[in-house]
């Protein structure tokens, strides 16, 4: 939890857990020759290798992430709230609260944030994207109402400094995205689902249900959980929400955030894997898929 303040200074940065740097180090075979054109990205405080990168990769230090955040604070009255790391630091992130909250229906509030994620493993870009959180369920509604092009992404290459100069445009992109999300969520709240539409949705989410093949116990369990969160998920008992496409979407989000099975790896925590999945991997894809289907069904 970061100090709730405006611009982050060096004191607050030291408290964030991100007060370390990375550098590229040559790689060599044990007892042998150096491997040309490949480098390990090494964390300064622990000397851990966070990833292997090619010769074109350029380090983007953690402080740069806060320089971006500080520009958003200055331009848009955003406030820092939280920060953290995935795994041993292969990805680092911070989240800023924005003043663009809205009610989908009376009593169903959505809070708006912007998330900045920097990677040191060579597997992904620096990304800046809007993140909505439903107050009732604390589920993360990280979908794009207008498509993936609304996410700002910067490659770790020589030209990244020029790309970062356009970051002043980020706030307007985020505002536009939340405007679109507000309209989409209100549209979904007014769309009531018949039992047939619920069935159609589940078959699109889990195509094997419509294939004529035997349904595995795993798929049957996912279907049951999605139905359960749709009918009994936190906040889905609000009269104007119950039985709507909005209830179904939030049921999927709550399932992804709290119940979807998460693969863990040696030395990592389930919470890290779940968070990374719901922001970038299969969990995020499942939410976007559900949103796209429900907007059209």
Residues 6+ positions from 179 with CB-CB distance below 8 Å = none
Mean pLDDT over the full length of the chain: 87
Residue 125 has pLDDT above 70, yes or no: yes
- Lowest model confidence (mean pLDDT) among 40-54, 71-85, 186-200: 71-85
Least confident among 125-129, 161-165, 173-177, 178-182:
161-165
DSSP 124-185: S-EEEEEEEEETTT--B----SS-GGGSEEE-SSTTHHHHHGGGGGHHHHHHHHHHHHHHHH
In this prediction, residue 119 carries a pLDDT of 92
Q: What is the pLDDT of residue 266?
A: 55
Q: Is the pTM of this model over 0.85?
A: yes
Please tell me the predicted confidence (pLDDT) of residue 147.
59
Does 264 score more than 70 pLDDT? no
Q: Is the pLDDT of residue 146 over 60?
A: yes
| Distance in angstroms (rounded) separating the CA atoms of residues 45 and 23 | 11
pLDDT at 171 (0 to 100)? 77
């Amino acid at each position: 939890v970061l100090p709730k303040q405006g611009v982050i200074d060096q004191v607050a940065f030291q408290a964030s857990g991100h007060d370390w740097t990375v550098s590229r180090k040559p790689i060599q075979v044990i007892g042998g020759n150096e491997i040309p054109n490949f480098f390990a990205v090494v964390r300064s405080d622990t000397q851990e290798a966070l990833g292997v990168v090619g010769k074109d990769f350029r380090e983007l230090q953690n402080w740069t992430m806060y320089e971006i955040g500080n520009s958003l604070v200055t331009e848009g009255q955003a406030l820092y709230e939280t920060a953290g790391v995935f795994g041993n630091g292969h990805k680092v992130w911070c989240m800023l609260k924005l003043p663009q909250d809205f009610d989908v229906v009376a009593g169903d509030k959505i809070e708006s944030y912007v998330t900045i994620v920097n990677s040191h493993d060579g597997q992904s870009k620096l990304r800046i994207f809007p993140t909505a959180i439903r107050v009732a369920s604390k589920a993360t509604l990280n979908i794009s109402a207008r498509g993936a092009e609304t996410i700002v992404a910067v490659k770790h290459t020589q030209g990244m400094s020029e790309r970062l100069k356009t970051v002043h445009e980020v706030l307007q992109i985020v505002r536009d995205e939340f405007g679109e999300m507000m309209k989409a969520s209100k549209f979904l709240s007014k769309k009531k689902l018949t039992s047939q539409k619920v069935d159609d949705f589940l078959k699109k989410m889990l195509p094997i249900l419509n294939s004529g093949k035997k349904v595995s116990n795993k798929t049957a369990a996912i279907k049951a959980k999605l139905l359960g969160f749709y009918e009994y998920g936190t906040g889905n008992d609000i009269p104007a929400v119950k039985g709507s496409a909005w209830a179904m979407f939030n049921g999927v989000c709550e399932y992804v955030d709290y119940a979807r099975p998460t693969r863990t790896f040696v030395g990592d925590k389930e919470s890290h894997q779940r968070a990374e999945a719901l922001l970038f991997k299969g969990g995020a894809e499942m939410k976007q898929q559900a949103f796209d289907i429900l907007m059209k069904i």
